[in-house]
Amino acid sequence: MRHFAPGLVVLAAVCCALLIVPLTVPRTVHSAPMAMLTITSNTFTNGGTLPMSTVFKGFGCTGGNRSPHLAWRGAPSGTQSFALIMHDPDAPTGTGWYHWVLFDIPSSVHELKEGAGSPGSPDLPAGAVLGLTDFGSSGYGGPCPPTGDKPHHYRITIYALSSKIGMGQATTGAAVRFLIRGNTLAEGTITGLYGR
């Protein structure tokens, strides 16, 4: 009679058990969907045309260059600050165009009056920082697409953050987007159109 080493007997038993017992595939754990902020404006409707009061003054554009009124709700508990970015993805630059960068907005603020995006505005919330736009300055810079282009989409996104960014006015929109990774609790977007 042939004898097998005890280790081989144990190994054979384990292999047989694996063939009999169905394999359990671990389930993928999905994180909860991000909360959404609801954004409204008295200046324009979502998907509507931005008025001349918001259009840039310069580069051949003759608008009032006043930032629009904005209000938002739905911030989750734990929100420590808000950040705002107005971006035109249709600008012919390859990366779009940043028109308004505002961050470290206090968590108690849920509305910006028209014109609050201008440097020195009394309606700019205390502690909020106007970042650098692609016009090369801090503060709101309105739409001014190339003549003959189809209307561009001007997306204003507000982010509810679990912390403050704590940077200065030289901070660009791209840098803000980088800095808020992992700190965004909720976000919402309202879009205005403008062409000339």
pLDDT tens sequence across 50-106: 999 999 999 999 999 999 999 999 999 999 999 999 999 999 999 999 999 999 999
Given a cut of 90, whether residue 165 has pLDDT beyond it is yes
Provide mean pLDDT across the span 104-120: 97
Provide mean pLDDT across the span 32-37: 80
- Predicted confidence band of residue 25 (pLDDT cuts 50, 70, 90): very low
Whole-number mean pLDDT of the chain? 88
DSSP collapsed to 3 states, 102-146? EEEEECCCCEECCCCCCCCCCCCCCCCEECECCCCCECCCCCCCC
Give dist(CA 182, CA 89) in Å, integer: 23
Q: Which of 5-14, 77-86, 96-105, 146-155 has the lowest mean pLDDT?
A: 5-14
153: which 2 tokens? 């989409």
Give dist(CA 169, CA 46) in Å, integer: 28
Phi-psi category of residue 130: left, alpha or beta, with phi > 0 → left and psi -120 to 50 → alpha:
beta
Residue 8 has a pLDDT of 43
Residue 12 has a pLDDT of 47
- Is 40 within 8 Å of 79 (Cβ atoms)? no
Given a cut of 60, whether residue 11 has pLDDT beyond it is no
- Predicted confidence band of residue 15 (pLDDT cuts 50, 70, 90): very low
- Is 82 within 8 Å of 160 (Cβ atoms)? yes
List the CATH code of the domain at 30-194: 3.90.280.10
Residue 130 Cα to chain centre, angstroms: 16
Confidence (pTM): 0.83
69: which 2 tokens? 């009124």
Is residue 54 classed as helix, strand or coil in its secondary structure?
Answer: helix
